[in-house]
Structure 1
Amino acid sequence: MSVDAKDILIRELKDSLNEQRELNKTLQSALNISNIQVQELTVQVKLLNEQIDYMKRKLFGSSREKMEQQTDGQLSFNLSDESDETIEELPAAEEEIVVKKHIRKKKVTFAEKTKNLPVEIREITLPEEEQICSICGTHLEVIGKETVRKELEYIPATLKVVEYVSVHYGCPKCKIDEEKPNIIHAPVPPALLRSYASPSIVAWVIYSKYVNGMPLYRQEKDWLQYGFELSRATMANWVIECTDKYLRVLYEFYHKLLLSREFAMADESPIQVLKEEGREATAKSYMWLFRSGEDDTPPIVLYKYASTRRGDVAKEFLKGFNGYLMADGYTGYNKVQDIKRCCCFAHIRRYFFDAIPKGKNRDISCPAVQGVEYCDKLFAYERHFKEKGYSYKQIKNGRLKKEKPVIEAFLSWLEKQKPIKGSKFATAVTYALNRKEHMMTYLEDCRCSLSNNLSEQKMKSYVIGRKGWLFSDSPEGAEASAISYSIAETALANGLNVYKYITYVLEKRPTEEMADSELEKLLPWNDKVFEICKIER
C-alpha cells in the first residue's frame, strides 16, 4: 500500500510539475506578447509625440529653417580646409573661404532715400510788421538762410474726369461752292472698354489686388474715400475683360518665349473656385506656376489655372519645351516629355529639418541633423561660387569636384539608414531615396539650379494674396487672376514699376494681329519699356 501511495504522489507531483511548466509557457507567451505590445505602444507614443512637437513648431515656432551654429564634435563642413586650385580658370593662389560675420547694413540716409523725389522749398519769413528793428526802427534785410529740417509729405491720389471732345472741321469754300460740304472729324482714340474705364484705373485695380493683395471688396471701400462709388462687380468685370482682350495676348507671347528657353521651374498651390461647371463650390482646384530658370536671361513668371492637379496640366503647358525642369517631388511632372528633371535639395532638406526632434537641433548624433548637414554643405558651396563670381565653367568644375562627392556620400548614408516606420525621419529618407535618380542632373549644366526656391518665392506672392481674397467666383475670374499675376510678377522680376507697366501695356492695346516684333516692344526687358516703367531708386 505504501508503494502505491508513493507512486500516486509521484504521479501527482509530475502532473503538477507539468501543469506549472505549461503555466510558465503560457505566462511567458503572454509576457512576450505584452512586451511586443509595449514596444509597439512605445513607438506609437514616440511617433505621436513627434507629431505633436511638429505641429507645435508649425503653429507656434519660427518658420525659419536655419540651423543654429555648430558645436564641437559635429560634422566638419568647413570649406576653408578645401582648395580651389584644381578648378579651371581660378587664380593660382589658393583661396580661403571665410564664413561671413553678421554685419549690420549701413543705414541709408534720408537724402539717399529721397534723391529721386521732387523737392519743394518753403521759406519761413517774418510778417511785414515784424521786419522792423526793435532798437532803431530800421527795416530789416535778409542776411542768410538756414535749412532747419526736412519732412516727407504724402500727396493722396486724386480722381478726375477726362472728356474726349472731337473737333469738327469744315471747308468754308466747299460749303459755298459745292453741293455737299467737306466736314472732317478729328479721330478720337478708341475706348479701352465700353465703359468709363481708363488704362490707369484698371491698372491700379490689378496692381492693388495682385501685388498689394487688396481684395476688391476692400478696394470698393477705398474708392469711396476718393469720393467715387465703384462696385467690386464692376472692377471684376474690368479685370476679366482687359485680361481676356489685351493682357492674354502678351501672356501667350510670354508662354512662347518660355518654351524656347533651356531651363524652367514649376510649382502648384490650391485655389477655390465657386462656380466650376459640374463641381461643388468646395472642390479643390489649382494654380500652377511655371517660370524661367537662373540662366541670366530675363525672367518670365507664368501662372496657370486648372481644375485639377493632374500631371497632364504640366504636360500640356510645357509641350514643346526641351530642357531642364526644376520642381518638387510631385510625380505628375514626370508626364512632361522631352525634359530632364532636376531635384530640389531645399525640399529634401526641409523633410530632414522637420524630422529633427525637439531640442536636438545641435545634436550631430541625431540622423535627421546629419541629413540637414549634407544638404547645407551643397548650399554652402553654391553660395561660395556665387560670392566669388565664378564663371559658368568654373561653377561646373567646382560642382563636379566638390559637390558630386557630397551627393555620393549622402546617397551611401541614406542606404544605411533604418528609420522607424511611420516616423518623420522615415518619410525624409524615403523622399530623398525616391529623388536619387535626379539628384545629379544639375551637375550636367552649371546653369541648373540646386533648389526650386525661386518658383516657391513667386508662388508665395499668390498664396499671400489668396489669404485676402480667399476664392475666385468663376473660372473666368481664376483665369484672369492667373494672367494678371503673370504680367505683374514678370514685371516685378524685371525691376519695373508694376502699375506703370500695366498702364503702358493697356495704353498700347496689344492684339492678336500684332506681329512678334511688335509684341517684343512691350516686353519688360525692352530698353524703351524699362526706361519708362523702371522703379526710380
Structure 2
Amino acid sequence: MTSHASALPDDIDTLKAMLIAVATQKDELQAEAGQLQGETATLKAELVRMAAINERAEERITNLHMIIKQLERARFGRSSEKLDGDQQAFAFDEVQTALGMIEAELEAARPTGERRPREARPRKAFPAHLERVEIVIEPEAVACACGSCQPVRIGEDVSERLDVTPAKFRVIVTRRPKYGCAQCKEGVSQAPAPGHIVEAGVPSEALLAHVAVSKYADGLPLYRQEGIYARDGVEISRNTMANWMGHVGFHLAPLADRILALIKEGERVYADETTLPTLSPGAGKTKTAWLWTYARDDRTFGGQAPPMVAYRFEDSRGGENVERHLAGYTGLLQVDGWGAYNRLADARRADGALTLAACWSHYPGRSFISSTAAEKLDSGGKVGGVCRHKISDWRKESKSGFGFHGLVWAGSRSACFQNLCSASRFIFRLVAM
C-alpha cells in the first residue's frame, strides 16, 4: 500500500476494499503475534521444566557417585571400613532405584509422539500356578477401505504383567443350629464345635499362619504388624499376637521333634551353635543365649532324603546341651573345634561314642599332608612337592574320609611346632580321641 495520498484511488469502493484488506492483515498479524507469544511462554515453561528435571537428575547422579564410592571403599578399603553383605546389597538396591527414577522421568519428559517403544527383552516366564486374569481390549473402529467392512480376527498381541491382591481380612461366621423334636419336646441335637489352635479365640488358623510367617520368616515384628492391621480398622495388640505365637509354638513342637529325629537317622549330621541376644525378664537388658543348629543334607552323597535343619534354643553353650539334643545318635558329626562336642566321642557315653569330623572351612591352615606323606619329610623337615596333598587325595587315603588322625601341618619343624600350638590347636585337640 502506498503512503502517498496522490497514489490512492479516487473510487470509494476501491478504498473500502483496501481498508478492509489492511484491517484483515492487521488481525492476522495480531493473531500470529499472540500465537508466537503463547509458543514463547510454552517454550519458557518447557525450559524451566527441563532445567528442573536436569537438576534432579544431577542430584541423583551425585548420590549415585556417593554410593559407588561407598562400594569402592567396601571392596578396596581397609577391613575396618568394609561394608557387610547386607549393606552392599542395600547400596545396589539404591543404585537401581535411582536409575529407574531417572529413566522414568526422562521418558515422561519426551513428547508423546517422540517416545520410543521399549525394546523387547527376554523375560523369565511367570510360574504356571499363578492365576491368569485376561483383559481383552477391542479397537474402537476397524480400519477399512471398502466401506462395507466385515472384521475378521487375524492375530493378537499378548503381554503379561504381574499383579497382586493385597491381604484383606474377613470374618468367618460359624453357625451350629440346634434341633429338637416338636412332638416329644425331649433332647437337643447340635453339631460339636470344631477344634482350634486357640480355643475360644478369634484367630483362624490361616491368620495364625500369616502372623507367624510374617514374624519368623519375613522378619516383620509384631508391633509393625499391629500398625499394618490397624490401617484396615482391625485392632490386634502385639501382646495378643504374642500369646497366639505361644499357642502356635506349642502345637508345632511335635513337628520340630520329628525333624530332629529324622536328622539323627542320617549317617552324618552337621552341627554348630551361635549366639542369640535375648531379653532378660525384669532386668531391662539383653543376655547371651545360644541357638544350636543341626542339619542333614545327603544330596552330595547320593542320598534321597530331603535336606532339613533343626534348631534348639539354650541358655548356655555347655556340652550337656548337645548331648541331650543328640541322644541316641552314634553316626558321624561334623563340627568346628568347640570342646563341648568332645564328650560325644567319649567311649563311656551312654549311647556309645560317635565319630567327630572337622569342618575344613574352620581350619586356618592352607597346606596339609597325610600320615603317609609325612614319612616322606626329609631330615630338615622340608616338604617336597610330592608331599603336598590335596584334600581330596587325603580323603582317599583315609578309610573314613573324615578322620583327624595323622593330620600334619606342612612346613619346617619349628614353624610346624608354632602353628600346631596356635592356629591348629583346636583341630589337634580331637586327635587324642
State how far apart, in whole Å, the 2-side matches of 1:405 and 1:152 are.
52
Q: TM-score, normalised by structure 2?
A: 0.57
> Secondary structure in 2 aligned to 1:312?
helix
Unaligned runs of 5+ in 2: 1-76, 86-120, 368-387
Q: Which has the higher contact order (CA 8 A, sep 6+)?
A: 1
Match of residue 249 from structure 2: 243
State how far apart, in whole Å, the 1-side matches of 2:357 and 2:316 are.
23
Residue from 148, 164, 175 that aligns with 1:154: 164
State how far apart, in whole Å, the 2-side matches of 1:256 and 1:148 are.
51
Q: Look up the equivalent residue of 1:60 and give its one-letter code.
A: K
Does residue 1:203 correspond to 2:209, yes or no?
A: yes
How far does residue 437 in structure 1 lie from its aligned partner after superposition? 5.1
Residue from 403, 410, 414 that aligns with 1:413: 410
State how far apart, in whole Å, the 2-side matches of 1:117 and 1:437 are.
58
Where do residues 134-153 of structure 1 align in structure 2 (5 Å cutoff)? 137-138=147-148, 140-153=150-163
How far does residue 116 in structure 1 lie from its aligned partner after superposition? 3.0
Q: Look up the equivalent residue of 1:411 and give its one-letter code.
A: V
How far does residue 332 in structure 1 lie from its aligned partner after superposition? 0.9
State how far apart, in whole Å, the 2-side matches of 1:340 and 1:271 are.
28
Q: Is the Cα–Cα contact under 8 Å of residues 358 and 404 in structure 2 kept in the other structure?
A: no
Q: Look up the equivalent residue of 2:155 and give its one-letter code.
A: K
State how far apart, in whole Å, the 1-side matches of 2:192 and 2:320 are.
48
Where do residues 91-490 of structure 1 align in structure 2 (5 Å cutoff)? 110=123, 112-127=125-140, 130=141, 137-138=147-148, 140-170=150-180, 174-176=181-183, 178-180=184-186, 182-193=187-198, 194-244=200-250, 246-276=251-281, 281-294=285-298, 296=303, 297-336=305-344, 337=349, 338-349=353-364, 377-378=390-391, 381=392, 398=396, 400=398, 411-413=408-410, 416-418=413-415, 427-436=422-431
State how far apart, in whole Å, the 1-side matches of 2:430 and 2:420 are.
16
Q: TM-score, normalised by structure 1?
A: 0.47
Q: Is the Cα–Cα contact under 8 Å of residues 331 and 355 in structure 2 kept in the other structure?
A: yes
Query: Per-residue CA shift, 1:402-447, capped at 9, x if unaligned?
Result: 9799995x615167352897xx997423344445458xxxxxxxxx
- Compared CA separation, residues 60 and 419, structure 1 to 2 (3 A): farther
Q: Is the Cα–Cα contact under 8 Å of residues 326 and 342 in structure 1 kept in the other structure?
A: yes
State how far apart, in whole Å, the 2-side matches of 1:425 and 1:161 are.
67
> Secondary structure in 2 aligned to 1:274?
strand
Q: Is the Cα–Cα contact under 8 Å of residues 343 and 435 in structure 1 kept in the other structure?
A: no
- Compared CA separation, residues 189 and 345, structure 1 to 2 (3 A): same
Unaligned runs of 5+ in 1: 1-54, 64-107, 354-373, 383-394, 439-537
Q: Look up the equivalent residue of 1:333 and give its one-letter code.
A: Y
Give the fraction of aligned pairs with identical amino acids, expressed as a percent.
Answer: 23
Match of residue 97 from structure 2: none
> Secondary structure in 1 aligned to 2:423?
helix
State how far apart, in whole Å, the 1-side matches of 2:161 and 2:170 are.
28
Q: Look up the equivalent residue of 1:325 and give its one-letter code.
A: L
State how far apart, in whole Å, the 2-side matches of 1:406 and 1:432 are.
8
State how far apart, in whole Å, the 2-side matches of 1:239 and 1:204 are.
11
Query: Per-residue CA shift, 1:422-475, capped at 9, x if unaligned?
Result: xx997423344445458xxxxxxxxxxxxxxxxxxxxxxxxxxxxxxxxxxxxx
How far does residue 164 in structure 1 lie from its aligned partner after superposition? 0.8
Runs of 4+ in 1 over 6 A off after TM superposition: 401-407
Q: Is the Cα–Cα contact under 8 Å of residues 272 and 281 in structure 1 kept in the other structure?
A: no
How far does residue 314 in structure 1 lie from its aligned partner after superposition? 0.9
How far does residue 352 in structure 1 lie from its aligned partner after superposition? 6.0
Q: Look up the equivalent residue of 1:207 and give its one-letter code.
A: V
Q: Is the Cα–Cα contact under 8 Å of residues 274 and 292 in structure 2 kept in the other structure?
A: yes
Match of residue 105 from structure 1: none
Q: Is the Cα–Cα contact under 8 Å of residues 272 and 284 in structure 1 kept in the other structure?
A: yes
State how far apart, in whole Å, the 2-side matches of 1:399 and 1:186 are.
69
How far does residue 323 in structure 1 lie from its aligned partner after superposition? 1.5
Match of residue 60 from structure 1: 82
State how far apart, in whole Å, the 2-side matches of 1:118 and 1:404 are.
49
> Secondary structure in 2 aligned to 1:291?
strand
State how far apart, in whole Å, the 1-side matches of 2:430 and 2:260 are.
28
Q: Look up the equivalent residue of 1:323 and give its one-letter code.
A: G
- Compared CA separation, residues 417 and 280, structure 1 to 2 (3 A): farther
The CA RMSD measured in Å over matched residues stands at 4.0
State how far apart, in whole Å, the 1-side matches of 2:309 and 2:157 are.
47
> Secondary structure in 1 aligned to 2:270?
strand
**More helix as a share of residues:** 1
State how far apart, in whole Å, the 2-side matches of 1:273 and 1:293 are.
29
Larger Rg: 2
Q: Is the Cα–Cα contact under 8 Å of residues 404 and 430 in structure 2 kept in the other structure?
A: no
- Compared CA separation, residues 428 and 414, structure 1 to 2 (3 A): farther
How far does residue 293 in structure 1 lie from its aligned partner after superposition? 4.8
